[in-house]
Amino acid sequence: MSTAPVDFAARTAAHSMDGFWKDDLAHADPEIAAAIGKELARQRDKIELIASENIASRAVLEAAGSVFTNKYAEGYPGKRYYGGCDYADVVETLAIERAKQLFGCNFANVQPNSGSQMNQAVFLALLNPGDTFMGLDLNSGGHLTHGSPVNMSGKWFNVVSYGVARETETIDMDEVAAKARESKPKIIICGGTAYSRTWDFPAFRAIADEVGAVLLCDMSHISGLVAGGAHPSPFPHCDIVTSTTHKSLRGPRSGIILWNDEKYTKPLNMAVFPGLQGGPLMHIVAAKAVAFKEALDPSFRDYARRIVENARALAASLEENGLRIVSGGTDNHSMLVDLTAKNVTGKDAEKGLDRAFLTCNKNGIPYDTRSPFVTSGIRLGTPAGTTRGFGVEEFRTIGKLIAEVVDGLAKNGPEGDAQIEESVRQRVATLCAAFPVYPGM
């Protein structure tokens, strides 16, 4: 063994980590930094009307980009499979306690990585392959994970879908009851992605009780409204409640599972880890905790109320400007616009509106005759616009702008009316400048 003293200065120089610790993204990876910069500009300069999107706070972004990215914390607070979890425990415990307080329930699992995984965890906990569950049909506004044939939920289980009535375009509770009696599902799911009416949780509870089903609410789209008191709570009616955290709730991209009865605690926690996931995304758990704190602030009630008020104003403005709203209006943050009478497809409308700096998505309407790649409608939502500060006046204007672009498409076909689209872009720019996104970032 050599007895020569180690030359530490030479060793540090030879393994210089200066860039690793000091380079910001713009220096380390200009291509990715440029794309992020352009994405920020896009979010600033266009009006976001996608009903499932929002604009998270700077604090949420900071937590999501934090050093918890480095940490493995398999297990749950106080029962981890790794050392060094003291602060991971602090973060996860805060997230759990805040989620419980926010939604008024006894138990919470804040580890699901996404909305799809939270629902998979409920299936894993309560069903065996081949078992029957009921959910809202995708064509009526349900979610992929509620039994679509292309999703695991549709491939591994026997799915009985309920839909909306042709006449009212709202959920027909008699149909739900009849199908439940006939199929005896183990789980009935309420909640969806493109349904603009209030969910009648007590009515679902009565049906679930009658047939002995577990009642699951997937409140992903409306959880911000529930948190802010602008939509009835699924508790105490539903046994298990799942939610994404990045939609109206305005947190990081992720999922949570909530419940009241202790009997679900072990199966649900075991299903998330080790059933489906390994190490939780602790940086995202931290960001969820931050978002829950924000949603517990009294100002969030005002935010939730304004989301609904703005959605009503947008729907009314669209109708006044000649567009039909599915089911005749909205009770929540979202709406489906039926473009059939204008002979414009959802696909062309999405593209035309994007050219005019209005971002939304094409969406099938109930009993749509066009394919899911074309569709006869668009889905609109107000959570993101409400976050940047738009009120009723701004959303009435946005309704008018959308109608102008659609009329241009009706007149000229898919390429639209360039003059109208330019004029709309200018008015969008005025609105965006008055209500800046991430100023100073």
- Is residue 162 within 8 Å of residue 137, measured between CB atoms? yes
221 part of the interface to ligand PLP, by CB under 6 A: yes
Residues 119-138, interacting with ligand PLP (CB under 6 A): 119
Q: Closer to ligand PLP by CB, 334 or 397: give it.
A: 334
218 part of the interface to ligand PLP, by CB under 6 A: yes
Q: Closer to ligand PLP by CB, 162 or 357: give it.
A: 162
220 part of the interface to ligand PLP, by CB under 6 A: yes
Q: Closer to ligand PLP by CB, 114 or 359: give it.
A: 114
Q: Closer to ligand PLP by CB, 276 or 356: give it.
A: 276
154 part of the interface to ligand PLP, by CB under 6 A: no
52 part of the interface to ligand PLP, by CB under 6 A: yes
Instruction: Fill in the amino acid letter for 181.
Output: R
Nearest CA-CA partner of 428 in 392, 402, 389: 402
115 part of the interface to ligand PLP, by CB under 6 A: yes
Tokens found for residue 300: 């969030």
User: Residue 160: CB partners within 8 Å, gap ≥ 6?
Assistant: 132, 133, 134, 179, 183, 185
How far is 158 from 243, CA to CA, in rounded Å?
Answer: 23
Q: Which residues are catalytic?
A: 72, 74, 218, 244, 247, 253
Q: Closer to ligand PLP by CB, 85 or 219: give it.
A: 219
Annotated binding site: 138, 142-144, 262, 371-373
State the first-to-last Cα distance of the chain, in angstroms, to the nearest integer: 55
191 part of the interface to ligand PLP, by CB under 6 A: yes
Tokens found for residue 190: 């309420």
Map residues 226-245 to x or -, x wherever contact with ligand PLP holds by CB under 6 A: ------------------x-
Tokens found for residue 16: 């210089």
92 part of the interface to ligand PLP, by CB under 6 A: no
Neighbours of 374 (CB within 10 A): 14
381 part of the interface to ligand PLP, by CB under 6 A: no
Residues 166-185, interacting with ligand PLP (CB under 6 A): none
114 part of the interface to ligand PLP, by CB under 6 A: yes
How far is 241 from 381, CA to CA, in rounded Å?
Answer: 22
Q: CA Rg, the chain, in Å?
A: 24
- Is residue 338 within 8 Å of residue 326, measured between CB atoms? yes
- Is residue 387 within 8 Å of residue 38, measured between CB atoms? no
Which residues would be at the binding site for ligand PLP (CB under 6 A)?
52, 114-116, 119, 143, 145, 191-193, 218, 220-221, 244
